[in-house]
Amino acid sequence: MKFWKQHLTSRLASYFLLLSLLTVSTVSCVAYLQARQSLKESAFNQLSITATLKEGELARWFEDQQRDFLLTTHLPEVQTRLRTLLDTASTTPQHQQAKADLDAYLQRVIRLKPNLQEIYVLDASSRVLLSSQPERERTYEIAANITFLQEVAIGADFAPIFYISPRTRKPAITLATPIRNANGDRIGLLATQLDLERIDRIIREGNRLGKTGEAYLVGFMVTGNAFISGASPLPESPTESVTSFAIEQAMLGQNGSGLYRNYAGVPVIGVYRWLNNRDLALLVEMAQAEALAPARQLAVTIALIGGFSAIALSVGVYWLSRQITKPILAIAETSTQIAAGELDREAPILTEDEIGILAYNFNQMLRQLKLSRNQSQAYSDSLEQKAHELEQTLRQLRRTQAQLIQTEKMSSLG
């Protein structure tokens, strides 16, 4: 503190350094906030575009699956054999022939349409009469897991029912269309289980969202909201319920975007969509740490460059301050010497500016002081001389007086 109070150049350099650091901090903060806002807007745009593209691809995929299923199973000869299979006893030649023809046809369809993982025929009791996977025959299908295509028309909207397949332990979709007899009564179902690997590829591939970017689908199952595809990694239990602010909002039918924590508790910037026709939530997210990293890097860079610049400038300011304050320090040194009694000193006039004028006036004041002191000394000497003379005169008068008194005494005795 004493050093701070006594050194003018140090105070000037320190004030400049503090002001520079304050300016650099302000600029860094403003640059960070502006860059962060720009990066957020850019990220939201990129995430929204990705979500829109994936939404379109999903819609086309579902439409393709519907079209492939209906076109391959609603041929007149196929429908005829299906009715024969369901309306005749299993021991009749007509039943056996229809089953053989259908089995051969379904195997060809599966080879040509690998996205249709399995095609099978259910009777009125949901028992599998015929399947492209023979080991599944004579088993029963859970009716609650079946997505019925009420309208046998390509392009008709349908909301798929997702469930966990007891065989694969993965999310699955089963599409089914009714088989009717000549009277229009439903006598069975023609169903197919879709291969959802393509959905997973649609969701995972082509994101271009950096290292932490991901897109995933969430659907409602009996146990709650669960991943359909895209999450990396998927939970150990496929029926495990997942939640986050965005998932809850999307499952309520809301579309939006924002900064929030994802299902894993990681702060992300994300976009969420409710796919109304599919009863699915599509989420596209990226970790905030990655999305906003350039803003932090910019702020740190500005702060480092600004800090080094401020220190370098402070050194320069210190040197300049030394040059500027040198005449003042010379005047201060001279005043200290004069205070010690060295009145023959004079302040050096190093500049012609205000400080030079100050030094000149200081020297003039010093000359006046010396003149006044000399005059005072001379006056003092004069007074001392006069006092001495008066004292001598007084002594003389006293001697004269004493002599007169002595003379008078002698006269009176004489």
Distance CA 6, CA 306 (A): 29
Distance CA 347, CA 278 (A): 93
Q: 269: Cβ–Cβ under 8 A, 6 or more apart, which residues?
A: 40, 43, 44, 47, 257, 258, 259, 285, 286, 287, 288, 291, 292
Per the structure block, which two tokens stand in for 18?
């503090």
Distance CA 86, CA 80 (A): 10
The full set of domains in the chain, from first to last, is 30-63+206-291 (3.30.450.20), 74-195 (3.30.450.20)
What residues form DSSP beta bridges with 157?
Answer: none
Q: Is residue 128 a contact partner of residue 141, using CB atoms and an 8 Å limit?
A: yes
Q: Which residue pairs, CB below 8 angstroms and at least 24 apart, start in 131-138?
A: 131/106, 132/103, 132/106, 132/107
Distance CA 146, CA 163 (A): 9
**pLDDT tens-place values along the chain, 414 residues long:** 454 455 666 777 777 778 877 887 888 788 778 888 888 888 889 899 999 999 899 888 888 888 888 888 888 898 899 999 988 888 899 999 999 999 999 999 999 888 888 999 999 899 999 999 999 889 998 888 888 886 555 556 778 888 888 877 888 889 999 988 888 888 999 999 988 888 888 888 767 787 888 899 998 877 778 888 765 555 555 556 788 999 999 999 999 999 999 998 999 999 999 987 788 999 999 998 888 888 778 778 877 877 777 777 777 777 777 777 777 777 777 777 777 766 667 767 766 677 777 777 877 887 787 777 778 778 888 888 888 888 888 888 888 888 888 787 777 775
